[in-house]
Structure 1
Amino acid sequence: MTQFSTPGAAARAHSASGRGARTRIAGVDAARGLALLGMVAVHIMPLRIISAEGAAAPSWAATLFSGRASALFVVLAGVGLALLSGGAAKIGAPKLAGVRRSVAVRAVLIFVIGLGLGILDTNVAVILVHYGVLFACAIPFLNMRARTLGFWAAGWLLLSPLALYLLRPWLSGVLEPFRLGASPLPEDLLTPAVFAADVLVTGYYPVIVWFGFILAGLCVGRLGLARPPVALAIGAAGAVLAVGAKALSAWLLAQPGAMASLAKATDLGRNEFSVAMVTGQRLGGALDTPWFLAVSAPHTGAPLDVLHVVGCALAVLGAVQLVCLAFTALLGSVGEMLLWPLTGAGAATLTLYSAHLVGLDLFSDVSAPLPRTSLFIIYAVACLLAGLVFKFLGRRGPLEALVHSVSRTLGRAT
């Protein structure tokens, strides 16, 4: 679950000289590589574990990555779209029209790939169908500058969780069923009302909320991320937002009646509820109480969850970009090469994300006896080695090459 680096596969930024030279922003690719590894972790590792004493506890994968890795991917999708449409520079109307056509084609291709991956037997909530819809929704915003996008992003991130809170119960009463399974499938297109409700509101990645992440990424991509002060400011602002949202949630949930109301709505004991707040699982009933608006559990779509994960995404992006700049400044080309496994994987996330899902399906019988941590290490190393090979050969990932070629060709059509 960039875009899955599809705008990232073409993401470029104008050089500081402003003379039109274009280069990749290493921090964007490296952050996308980290997001890929985080997604692989939550797909392979259990989110909830039982200790030797019989008590439930969140796993390290849930604690570190649940909700955050996928949100980072979507924010980086917005960054990639911003870079594709000129970055901090303004592009002319003819070129913008071509970019919009290209993004529309990418949206369709990613949507179709997502439907195909949903057929696999992986028990993974595949995000690519939602990605395609998010790309299509972003097209009208590709001509906006950073200030305008900042206002749009702030408003969307603050108001869309409230819309989700109101719409989900209503849709559950109007539609039967009111949502699909973990991933949209081709046959789901035969029930367009349920399909639309799931993708936009009731599903695992509700576009009505997650589009705010795209807008935040578009805004950041317009700010000149290649400059160290900008990267530092983005990282610091993200850290403050992430920590502040968690702290506010903890304070609200400490108010009289909050925990009791949520425990009753979710039918969970105190320990199970604390685990659910980390994993995001088993919290569907929380929508029955207004205290839902105070939680910050992943994939709930609650206001403080949304602000926390977008803050984490900005903090990671700013920090990773500063690390990449430091590597390059201190070690030159050697520093860039040391980052190749991560940046190479980040530039080929559509391919590697799809490949790891295919692998989880094809090799399920072989991998079933393996410890989950060992299996994660195998897939993580494979992703990094593939990234190193792609970087060394100067090649795009196969799916990135396909999407780039088709979208570029059709995007030039008049």
Structure 2
Amino acid sequence: MTQFSSRSTRHRAPGTGTAGTRARIAGVDAARGLALLGMVAVHIMPLRVLDAGGSPEATWAATLFSGRASALFVVLAGVGLALLSGGSGNIGAPKLAGVRRSVAVRALLVFVLGLGLGMLDTNVAVILVHYAVLFLCAIPFLGMRARTLGFWAAGWLAISPFALYLARPWAMEWLDPHRLGASPLPEDMFSPAVFLADLLLTGYYPLLVWFGFILAGLCVGRLALERPPVALSIGVFGAGLAVGAKALSAWLLAQPGALAALAQAANQESRELSVALVTGQRLGNAADSGWFLAISAPHSGAPLDVLHVVGCALAVLGAAQLVCMALSALFGQVGEILIWPLTGAGAATLTLYATHLVALDLFSDISAPLPRTGLFIIYAVGCLLAGLVFKFLGRRGPLEALVHTVSRTLGRSG
């Protein structure tokens, strides 16, 4: 849950940090802050509940954030990688080599941290191991420009869901990659074939598909995000993609026999299936039906789900950047201060993500009887207050500082 860089190469930091530091792109940090809050919500809130009549229904956390928050994080990780490797400008070959070494070191540190956090008793699908592998896979793409990355991203996002749909049954049959659990653990490394199959194909974040999110972020990070027309274009394109994918899914599933075939494959009643399509849970063997390719359920890896969550990520990024620029233009530094809690939290996502998981484990007995909504508010306010403190002090989060220092030192030594 880390970012590598949200720093603009053109402007000084307004009001925080030391002299000579480069200004962070506020919209990127704000979007990260929203993604962090979304992840906290789905970690704390149930995704489905029973209504007064005993029928299942999706919660607001599932409706708003399920699948979208984690995809937003990955897209923004790609944006951070692009900014670290030159943004919309050029970067020389020697410096790019150093960046690649730094990314490799950061990925290793995040990988180890992810394995450690997976050992906590939180019932959370920790994504950091997957992040680390995605970062390593992105290293060969760091020297590409926006146009080339755009072609790669479009192709990957279009083809990979179908490849996943075909490869998953093969992996289950020949490699028997039972789910290693929601989070990879250190002992899983002793079953490398199963471990890799779970990461790439059968796990909660199948990297075969999710690498397309990194590529999309890399492409966007190569654009001039500080320009309002660019931010607006990103937001409008993302919103159109998200709405279009969801509308196409709804139209396809409205065809005669579509939902019935899915319900039969998933062994679900119609009401249960409708909730499963919102939460992404309890879909069972829905992939046995060809109509699976028409759904847009979270974490399904279906084509329209992939396009929808990428569109949502781009829409949030574009909107966040426009709002941040508008506040700065209208109110100057006061406008920037107004969003310090969100941008500060977004600049310290690795620290706050890890901290909230540790807290969920340590205080599980105390928090168990509390209302879930109230508990989420406590954690959300805690993240925002921590973000405000980090921003006011002009400091990185502790884990961000550690990863930055180690990776910079080892990256330069190559």
- Provide the TM-score with structure 2 as the length reference: 0.97
Q: Is 1:406 the equivalent of 2:401?
A: no
> In structure 2, what is the equivalent of residue 347 of structure 1?
347
Say whether the 8 Å CA contact 1:249–1:294 is kept in structure 2. Answer: yes
Measure the CA separation in 2 of the matches of 1:232 and 1:93. 32
Measure the CA separation in 2 of the matches of 1:165 and 1:106. 31
SS for the counterpart of 2:57 is: strand
One-letter amino acid of the counterpart of residue 358, structure 1: V
Say whether the 8 Å CA contact 1:261–1:291 is kept in structure 2. Answer: yes
> In structure 2, what is the equivalent of residue 370 of structure 1?
370
Say whether the 8 Å CA contact 2:8–2:22 is kept in structure 1. Answer: yes
Say whether the 8 Å CA contact 1:146–1:220 is kept in structure 2. Answer: yes
Q: Is 1:386 the equivalent of 2:381?
A: no
Q: Is 1:301 the equivalent of 2:301?
A: yes
Measure the CA separation in 2 of the matches of 1:174 and 1:203. 16
One-letter amino acid of the counterpart of residue 196, structure 1: L
Say whether the 8 Å CA contact 2:177–2:198 is kept in structure 1. Answer: no
Say whether the 8 Å CA contact 1:14–1:21 is kept in structure 2. Answer: no
> In structure 2, what is the equivalent of residue 258 of structure 1?
258
The offset of 1:289, in angstroms, is 1.2
Measure the CA separation in 1 of the matches of 2:274 and 2:105. 43
Say whether the 8 Å CA contact 2:11–2:23 is kept in structure 1. Answer: no
One-letter amino acid of the counterpart of residue 344, structure 1: G
Measure the CA separation in 2 of the matches of 1:303 and 1:22. 38
Q: Identity across aligned pairs (percent)?
A: 78
The offset of 1:254, in angstroms, is 1.0
Cα shift readout 1:179-224 (whole Å, capped 9, x = no counterpart):
3111000000000011000111110001100000000000000011
SS for the counterpart of 2:285 is: helix
**Residues 134, 240 of structure 1: CA spacing in aligned structure 2 closer, same or farther, 3 A cutoff?**
same
Measure the CA separation in 2 of the matches of 1:233 and 1:291. 33
Say whether the 8 Å CA contact 2:6–2:28 is kept in structure 1. Answer: no
Alignment of 1:145-164 (within 5 A): 145-164=145-164
Q: Is 1:32 the equivalent of 2:32?
A: yes
> In structure 1, what is the equivalent of residue 108 of structure 2?
108
The offset of 1:401, in angstroms, is 0.4
The offset of 1:14, in angstroms, is 2.1
One-letter amino acid of the counterpart of residue 271, structure 1: R
The offset of 1:53, in angstroms, is 1.2
Unaligned runs of 5+ in 1: none
Unaligned runs of 5+ in 2: 13-19
The offset of 1:74, in angstroms, is 0.3
SS for the counterpart of 1:407 is: helix
Say whether the 8 Å CA contact 1:40–1:379 is kept in structure 2. Answer: yes
Alignment of 1:197-346 (within 5 A): 197-346=197-346
Say whether the 8 Å CA contact 2:261–2:291 is kept in structure 1. Answer: yes
One-letter amino acid of the counterpart of residue 191, structure 2: T
> In structure 2, what is the equivalent of residue 93 of structure 1?
93
Measure the CA separation in 1 of the matches of 2:55 and 2:212. 37
Say whether the 8 Å CA contact 2:177–2:197 is kept in structure 1. Answer: no
Cα shift readout 1:312-362 (whole Å, capped 9, x = no counterpart):
000000001000001100110011111110000000000000000000000
> In structure 1, what is the equivalent of residue 15 of structure 2?
none
Say whether the 8 Å CA contact 1:13–1:86 is kept in structure 2. Answer: no
Say whether the 8 Å CA contact 2:295–2:304 is kept in structure 1. Answer: yes
> In structure 2, what is the equivalent of residue 396 of structure 1?
396
> In structure 1, what is the equivalent of residue 53 of structure 2?
53
Measure the CA separation in 1 of the matches of 2:113 and 2:200. 18
Say whether the 8 Å CA contact 2:177–2:202 is kept in structure 1. Answer: no
Measure the CA separation in 2 of the matches of 1:104 and 1:28. 22
- Provide the TM-score with structure 1 as the length reference: 0.97
Say whether the 8 Å CA contact 1:15–1:21 is kept in structure 2. Answer: no
Measure the CA separation in 1 of the matches of 2:250 and 2:176. 35
Measure the CA separation in 1 of the matches of 2:307 and 2:283. 18
Measure the CA separation in 1 of the matches of 2:287 and 2:358. 34
Q: Is 1:78 the equivalent of 2:78?
A: yes
Aligned length: 407
Measure the CA separation in 2 of the matches of 1:304 and 1:175. 27
> In structure 2, what is the equivalent of residue 12 of structure 1?
7
The offset of 1:287, in angstroms, is 1.2
SS for the counterpart of 2:184 is: coil
Say whether the 8 Å CA contact 1:118–1:126 is kept in structure 2. Answer: yes
Measure the CA separation in 1 of the matches of 2:284 and 2:199. 17
Cα shift readout 1:276-318 (whole Å, capped 9, x = no counterpart):
0100001131111111110000000000000000000000000
SS for the counterpart of 1:369 is: coil
Say whether the 8 Å CA contact 2:43–2:124 is kept in structure 1. Answer: yes
> In structure 1, what is the equivalent of residue 172 of structure 2?
172
The offset of 1:16, in angstroms, is 7.4
Cα shift readout 1:33-91 (whole Å, capped 9, x = no counterpart):
00000000000000001111111100000000000000000000000000000000010
Measure the CA separation in 2 of the matches of 1:43 and 1:355. 13
SS for the counterpart of 1:284 is: coil
CA RMSD of aligned residues (A): 1.2
SS for the counterpart of 1:153 is: helix
